């Protein structure tokens, strides 16, 4: 059977999107040098046990490959464990509050309208380029307080980072691999240098923005260092826009390929949040997250040695038939829908409320403004050729 994913050239390794369930909940991929975790229960176990499955994955990557990586670890929440993580997350939560996110709603609506005004005179758009990429990147740039007009730079650095890490294998220690990692770090460093100027400026000239709030955040007399603010802002800029671009594209794609649901959601907008949640389950943007074992452990009937790299495939777990009835069916009325697209446990996505808000506002406006919106019959959507991300590079639409 040819699936939609085949037709649109999705990365062949993302077999779960091709209607092929993995044969075991845990499997060792010798070529990539990683333990792959596919089962919902097993993924949940990994994310709930940080003492065995550490977020500090750098410790299992050979030192010679990680030259220069230290400068980025301070403030990199995603890679931290236990108390260190709790302390930093607490400080950040002081600055990145639900109110800060909720207050963005009118601005998100205004930006969506502005971006759509630019294409509304024609009869077609390319969703990713015209809306799904620029909207989240402008929102996160404005939130942080860096000029949104620099977004082409973020895109350039972000794409170069994705390219450099795409073919990465943890067992292949060749010069090509080392170079790939060095290239990736160079891109992160460029973004870091750019952000450092803004952080240093906010210490001297506080403003009403997230960088200022992060610089000033204080819990129990503790504050963030410049390096921590730079690296955290770096994570926010990268994690905060690529994934949300995918959420928007994937949500439209799911509705477009299920016209009966599109009609129902159009007619009853209270279904918009559920349609987005189901798109997050069906095409999970963050396909997998990595952990490193601190000790030998057993999972899904396999014995995993200490110091192994473990990747929890959230997108696969979100289609586990043991938890989701008819997992390969897009069904916004699924209730409950305990998907793990935003992760689980201590590292649960800090940006989930913002991503959901952007999705809800943008989808409602698209439906309001374009009563005949549908995919372009003359061209096909294109998925990003990525193992770690599930999302679209192009989604041509006509209206």
Residues at the contact surface with ligand HEM, assessed by CB under 6 A? 55, 77-78, 89, 140, 235-236, 239-240, 243-244, 247, 285-286, 289, 314, 341-343, 347, 349-351, 354-355
b/e per residue 232-265 (b: at least 16 CB within 10 A): bbbbbbbbbbbbbbbbbbbbbbbbbebeebbeeb
In the complex, the smallest distance separating the C-beta of residue 77 from ligand HEM, rounded to whole angstroms, is 4
Residue closer to ligand HEM, measured from CB, 72 or 286: 286
In the complex, the smallest distance separating the C-beta of residue 1 from ligand HEM, rounded to whole angstroms, is 28
In the complex, the smallest distance separating the C-beta of residue 144 from ligand HEM, rounded to whole angstroms, is 9
d(CA 241, CA 230): 17
Residue closer to ligand HEM, measured from CB, 243 or 294: 243
Nearest to 331 by CA among 261, 259, 266, 253: 261
Residue closer to ligand HEM, measured from CB, 212 or 243: 243
In the complex, the smallest distance separating the C-beta of residue 347 from ligand HEM, rounded to whole angstroms, is 3
Residue nearest to ligand HEM (CB): 351
Residue closer to ligand HEM, measured from CB, 184 or 310: 310
Residue closer to ligand HEM, measured from CB, 162 or 236: 236
Nearest to 362 by CA among 272, 280, 297, 296: 272
In the complex, the smallest distance separating the C-beta of residue 356 from ligand HEM, rounded to whole angstroms, is 8
Residue closer to ligand HEM, measured from CB, 285 or 300: 285
Q: What are the φ/ψ torsions at residue 106 (nearest 5 degrees)?
A: -60, -35
Residue closer to ligand HEM, measured from CB, 236 or 361: 236
In the complex, the smallest distance separating the C-beta of residue 282 from ligand HEM, rounded to whole angstroms, is 12
Instruction: Give the sheet arrangement for strand 309-313, strand by strand.
Output: 26-29, 34-37, 309-313, 288-293, 53-54
Q: Tell the residue number behind the tokens 């949940």, with chain if given.
A: 44
b/e per residue 30-66 (b: at least 16 CB within 10 A): eebbbbbbbbbebbbbbbeebebbbbbbbebbeeebb
DSSP collapsed to 3 states, 264-277: HHHHCHHHHHHHHH
In the complex, the smallest distance separating the C-beta of residue 315 from ligand HEM, rounded to whole angstroms, is 10
Residue closer to ligand HEM, measured from CB, 187 or 251: 251
Residue closer to ligand HEM, measured from CB, 44 or 55: 55
State both tokens at 23.
Answer: 């044969």
**Contact 253/20 with Cβ under 8 angstroms?**
no
In the complex, the smallest distance separating the C-beta of residue 357 from ligand HEM, rounded to whole angstroms, is 9
**Contact 271/278 with Cβ under 8 angstroms?**
no
Nearest to 392 by CA among 275, 251, 288, 188: 251
Q: Where are the beta strands (DSSP E) in the chain?
A: 26-29, 34-37, 53-54, 124-126, 218-219, 222-223, 288-293, 297-299, 302-304, 309-313, 374-375, 382-383, 392-394, 396-398
In the complex, the smallest distance separating the C-beta of residue 47 from ligand HEM, rounded to whole angstroms, is 6
In the complex, the smallest distance separating the C-beta of residue 350 from ligand HEM, rounded to whole angstroms, is 4
d(CA 337, CA 331): 10
Helix (H), strand (E) counts: the chain? 15, 14
In the complex, the smallest distance separating the C-beta of residue 192 from ligand HEM, rounded to whole angstroms, is 16
d(CA 234, CA 206): 19
Residue closer to ligand HEM, measured from CB, 164 or 341: 341
Residue closer to ligand HEM, measured from CB, 84 or 152: 84
């Amino acid at each position: 059977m040819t699936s939609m994913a085949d037709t649109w050239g999705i990365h062949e390794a993302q077999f779960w999107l091709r209607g092929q369930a993995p044969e075991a909940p845990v499997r060792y991929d010798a070529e990539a040098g990683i333990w792959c975790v596919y089962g919902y229960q097993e993924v949940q176990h990994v994310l709930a046990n940080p003492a065995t499955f550490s977020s500090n994955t750098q410790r299992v990557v050979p030192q010679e490959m990680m030259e220069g990586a230290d400068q980025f670890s301070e403030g990199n929440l995603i890679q931290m464990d236990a108390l260190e993580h709790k302390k930093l997350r607490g400080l950040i939560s002081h600055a990145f509050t639900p109110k800060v996110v909720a207050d963005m709603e009118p601005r998100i609506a205004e930006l969506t309208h502005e971006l759509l005004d630019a294409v509304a005179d024609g009869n077609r758009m390319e969703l990713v380029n015209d809306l799904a990429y620029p909207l989240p990147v402008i929102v996160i740039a404005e939130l942080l307080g860096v000029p949104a007009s620099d977004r082409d730079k973020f895109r350039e650095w972000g794409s170069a980072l994705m390219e450099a890490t795409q073919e990465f294998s943890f067992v292949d220690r060749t010069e090509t691999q080392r170079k790939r990692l060095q290239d990736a770090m160079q891109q992160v460093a460029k973004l870091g240098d750019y952000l450092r100027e803004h952080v240093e400026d906010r210490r001297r000239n506080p403003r009403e923005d997230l960088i200022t709030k992060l610089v000033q955040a204080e819990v129990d007399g503790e504050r963030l260092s410049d390096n921590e603010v730079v690296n955290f802002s770096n994570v926010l800029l990268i994690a905060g826009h690529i994934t949300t671009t995918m959420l928007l594209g994937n949500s439209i794609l799911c509705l477009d390929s299920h016209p009966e649901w599109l009609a129902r959601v159009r007619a009853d907008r209270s279904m918009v949040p559920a349609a987005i949640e189901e798109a997050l389950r069906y095409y999970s943007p963050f396909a997998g997250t990595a952990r490193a074992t601190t000790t030998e452990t057993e999972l899904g009937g396999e014995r995993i040695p200490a110091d192994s790299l473990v990747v929890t495939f959230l997108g696969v777990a979100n289609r586990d038939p043991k938890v989701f009835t008819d997992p390969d069916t897009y069904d916004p009325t699924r209730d409950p829908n305990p998907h793990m697209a935003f992760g689980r446990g201590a590292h649960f996505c800090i940006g989930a409320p913002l991503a959901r808000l952007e999705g809800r506002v943008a989808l409602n406006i698209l439906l309001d403004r374009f009563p005949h919106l549908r995919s372009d019959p003359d061209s096909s959507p294109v998925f990003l050729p990525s193992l770690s991300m599930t999302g679209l590079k192009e989604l041509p639409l006509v209206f």
